[in-house]
Amino acid sequence: MIEAATSLSEGDRGWLRHRHAELREWWEHRPAGTPECVVHGAWVGNVDRTAARPLLMDFKLVSVGPSEWDLVSTAVKMTTTGAVTEAEYAEFRETYGLCCSIRLGSGTADARG
């Protein structure tokens, strides 16, 4: 894809190649997460709490991956904008059924149990 892009300068192309190599290396050595399952982007707008149980909505971006991936959007809101408080994040995580927590920093996210 990088080589096929016609609007990139050689400098941009080099930067993208380097960043791609960094990310691929990180991906291959990423910390172990929870077992893979169906994930769908469980940010607060995709989960409705009913009297009986949480109800997942909006399945257009469903994929397979570690369950903690569903925490990323909400973790970003907590870490970067403060739109979600630490207490709200903990409640969301607990309601969703995940024992781990996503923390953002140093350009990457890590999952902590």
Query: What are the pLDDT digits (tens) for 44-98?
Result: 677 787 888 877 788 887 888 887 787 888 888 888 898 989 899 888 877 777 6
Query: Which amino acid type is present at position 41?
Result: G
Nearest CA to 102 out of 94, 113, 91, 88 is that of 113
pLDDT tens-digit map of 22-32? 989 987 887 77
Residue bearing the bigger pLDDT, 111 or 10: 10
Entry pTM: 0.51
User: Would you kindly state where each structural domain of the chain is located, as residue ranges?
Assistant: 1-30, 32-112
Q: How far apart are CA 36 and CA 45, in angstroms?
A: 22
